Amino acid sequence: MAMPASEIEALIRAAIPDAQVTIEDLAGDGDHYAAKVVSATFRGIPRVRQHQIVYAALQGRMGGALHALALQTSAPD
């Protein structure tokens, strides 16, 4: 079952309100996405922990409704 990009973005924004989120459907199938998430929340936090925060925002949908997510996270400049 595919997951729309708008739902991914909404989940991330709900958990990280200041996030700038860009979602790209890599295969056109609604299952393989790339996401860039920029948030002040990430400042001073290791990249692995940043990714964990985003995955937590997806509320267990990774591996189910959402098959693959190439994730790029950072704090604003």
pTM score of the predicted model: 0.90
Measured at the alpha carbon of residue 60, what is the angle toward residues 9 and 62, in degrees to the nearest 5?
Answer: 70
Which has the closest alpha carbon to 58: 28, 35, 26? 35
pLDDT band of residue 1 (cuts 50, 70, 90) is low
Q: Which residue has the higher pLDDT, 74 or 2?
A: 74
* pLDDT tens string 22-44: 999 998 888 889 999 999 999 99
Rounded to whole angstroms, the Cα distance separating 58 from 43 reads 20
Superfamily of domain 5-74 in the CATH hierarchy: BolA-like (3.30.300.90)
Name beta bridge partners: 24: 34
Q: Where are the domains of the chain?
A: 5-74
Which pLDDT belongs to residue 63?
A: 77
* CA distance to 2, 44, 75, per residue, from 61 (Å): 11, 27, 24
Which pLDDT belongs to residue 56?
A: 95
Query: 50 pLDDT exceeds 80?
Result: yes
